[in-house]
Structure 1
């Protein structure tokens, strides 16, 4: 990498979303802290001394899983530790994006800096060298049941030893070729190195961080389209003021933001004494997802520095550990998935209100006056399907029963699969945002509103790809184009700058 690239010191402290984004993008190069490396060396000495005395250390001089009672001799250790890595290179499916793998390597290094892992300092140097020389292991997504990413991290660790595949200078090649072109030699695993490179949840955490940030971005867009539709429908802003003043953290945050947008321009007079719940309870629905995302993401940030190794070194002794089960983090992420279902239903209900017409004298299906057209009503079938897709992916998975390794391993969280399902939810939520924006822009035109602030920004971008609906026309490509518009990070940054929600935006580094 270029010498001018920013460096980030990994010292066993939490890695926030801004730091992770810099590492994932390759704009910053992580380097281990000197004090942290001293702690790594001290912990490794504890393990090495025990192995030298012929005492068993799980996964260092013993087998793993159902072979835990097999004690290898000193002559076997080099071959065993190398073989252990390669035995766990079994992932299948599509590849994780390169930023996820860069972040995962940084997380693995950072958790070791606290001095509980027991691996050699040379293993840390080998991980850091991959990032420094621009090598990104090619990691297929399927291979972890969410109790240490052994089948995923096995693909990373194999690259260290010269086996598997990796990207170098943007090209996919054998690990052996990548190391050679980068001027590196295959790493020889020492006792404890193999399991330390394998038995952590670093990839799950990195992928979860990515999808949580993408979810936060999607929610920010949906808040904008929600204000857009609420204005077009003539919703009362009073419930937002109440939420801002009398509610819990998330509801107050969202209520304050919504009420602030209603004050930027002359808000339409309320259409009724009591609005439908999808309008009156927007702050409650979105407040719940803001809360659950912040809590889940906060727990994830904690996971970027806490040891999830097994075994661990503590007080100069080697102890077995159950920290490889990331259950707390997983449960909070599953809670966010359930909250997404409520958001999807809330958006769907507003879309139906728009297409039904009536409020502010809007026509049924938002048909323009004098036009012979069916209008936008048929879009509701797609909106309903998208809602149901989001809903169907919210069913919790983490408590499903499994038994492997001769009955020794019977706990799991399925965090990688949960992350994959959340990715699909986010995609569907973004398409719902596109539909809500299309309907809202049509309604704004029909009632003759003059949008301002963030609503105008969303309206203008909608109209840049989706003109006013006069005659019936195919909408498939238009919806997908709108989805791409509302996924664009430059537009998100503009939304954040125009209508900030600092506590949320800054935590997820949405303006980066």
Structure 2
């Protein structure tokens, strides 16, 4: 089967397309028109050097050294030195996936033809992408303005024969890579070093993974929440469209309709339709409002990120020979704010999930025993699983202070306001990983509560989800080492097992959970 093709610098880049390129599902090309554009931009830089008119970063120093003139003969040395001097990252390396995404995003931005990069340099970056020779990039050291300078410097050290790469499953010095492949170091031209390290690709790469992972978390939270409603015999009325049309937030409407369809055809719902309870606790009743608000935050990040993925974010920008602009497109604030918002949105999904877990243990739902186990006393039941979800939810709250609220001047005051978006991106991913674990605990507790509703059946979706859980984790009649169960639950969440079950049921039964907002909320 022929692979899709993406034209760098020309086609519209989305999160899904980035991930497809990173996983080898889409090939990348440079069209002749893009190559011409890149060559023209490079020639403009050469002309600037030849004429000697001062332009930041081409024939001047960097940051507070912007008034220091660099001679024509030293402009190339300047570009190599900037990669060396700015490679100051510390901490554990980011994942190879993130580093590869950074390469993809930078290549697309450079291919727009406003950065003065040489075609040979861009083609070398593409070689790294296509051959999975991924640079080792430390996770700490960027303040998210003047670009992600430190991580991008490490990302491109291999172009000049320095740094380390992961190649064929091994970490090796770049010189070893050269020996294996026959490559040689590139002699960077004027402006090239600055173009490589100036940009928001570290922040944006993290945002790509945040969009992917948070989407998965949100989708599964709706499903698990619906299973908990069944287990605790909650009401379906809070999910009626008539309610949400009176407060028509997109996310709320989308979640409410999904959950209502998950509950459709349920014998469990019919069994308590005339019960005396007037309304459920918020953690069940307000799923559309809470999950929906987090959906809206996700959508906001996705929309902003798509703009960023298709932007030129280095400095200065080469418009033409008459106009170069030293501006601030490298400033990470547009994504920094949205990442902090997404971080809070993810944390709230975990927070309400923990409340549902606690609710399931109380024993206030008819037929469901306290601590989700009949023979308690000698057995503690599911009591301590909620300790874990509480600990994770609390840890997340501590990470919800917005990174973008802080700014520390750098570069001797020349760069006096920075975004800290790089920190926000890393933090958002840690929160989402914790939420995956909380949802795993809720999946186990919801499945346990669900068991007590037998022989009544739920709708086809949730019955199939329950069967899938039971293939991995059995019903607990007495205490056991529950960490083993939790680990299996985490794997199910991370592998999107329950999403796969939903998709299979949709296909086999020709039914769907889609809503009028699915195009916005179910694709990226």
**Superposition deviation, residue 489 in structure 1:** 3.8
Aligned counterparts of 2:24 and 2:178: Cα–Cα separation in 1: 18
Name the counterpart of 2:250: 249
Aligned counterparts of 2:28 and 2:388: Cα–Cα separation in 1: 45
8 A Cα contact 1:145 1:416, kept in partner: yes
TM-score if structure 1 supplies the norm length?
0.93
User: In terms of mean alpha carbon deviation, does 317-326 or 114-123 score higher?
Assistant: 114-123
Structure 1 unaligned residues grouped into runs of 5+: none
Aligned counterparts of 2:341 and 2:254: Cα–Cα separation in 1: 19
Aligned counterparts of 1:326 and 1:92: Cα–Cα separation in 2: 20
Indicate the SS of the match to 1:507: coil
Name the counterpart of 1:304: 309
Name the counterpart of 1:507: 523
Aligned counterparts of 2:244 and 2:175: Cα–Cα separation in 1: 58
Name the counterpart of 1:135: 133
Residues 336-355 of structure 1: matches in 2 within 5 Å? 336-355=342-361
**Superposition deviation, residue 118 in structure 1:** 2.2
Name the counterpart of 1:471: 478
Name the counterpart of 1:335: 341
Aligned counterparts of 1:378 and 1:114: Cα–Cα separation in 2: 55
Residue 276 of structure 1 pairs with residue 281 of structure 2: yes
**Superposition deviation, residue 53 in structure 1:** 0.8
Name the counterpart of 1:492: 499
Residues 32-431 of structure 1: matches in 2 within 5 Å? 32-147=30-145, 148-242=147-241, 243=243, 245-246=245-246, 247-268=248-269, 269-270=272-273, 271=275, 272-314=277-319, 316-368=322-374, 372-431=378-437
Indicate the SS of the match to 2:267: coil
Name the counterpart of 2:508: none
Aligned counterparts of 1:48 and 1:445: Cα–Cα separation in 2: 72
Aligned counterparts of 1:130 and 1:431: Cα–Cα separation in 2: 34
**Superposition deviation, residue 4 in structure 1:** 7.2
Backbone CA RMSD of aligned residues: 2.2
Aligned counterparts of 1:262 and 1:43: Cα–Cα separation in 2: 58
8 A Cα contact 1:13 1:110, kept in partner: no
**Superposition deviation, residue 465 in structure 1:** 3.2
Name the counterpart of 1:444: 450
- Matched residue pairs, number? 506
Aligned counterparts of 1:51 and 1:396: Cα–Cα separation in 2: 42
8 A Cα contact 2:206 2:429, kept in partner: no
**Superposition deviation, residue 5 in structure 1:** 6.1
Indicate the SS of the match to 2:452: helix
Indicate the SS of the match to 1:58: coil
Return closer, same or farther for 1:380/1:98 CA change in 2, 3 Å cut-off: closer
Indicate the SS of the match to 2:59: coil
**Superposition deviation, residue 8 in structure 1:** 2.0
Return closer, same or farther for 1:422/1:264 CA change in 2, 3 Å cut-off: farther
Aligned counterparts of 1:473 and 1:134: Cα–Cα separation in 2: 44
Cα deviation 1:5-60 (Å, max 9, x = unaligned): 65421134431122111111133332223222222222222222111111112112
8 A Cα contact 1:12 1:112, kept in partner: no
8 A Cα contact 2:149 2:197, kept in partner: yes
Structure 2 unaligned residues grouped into runs of 5+: 506-511
Aligned counterparts of 1:468 and 1:308: Cα–Cα separation in 2: 53
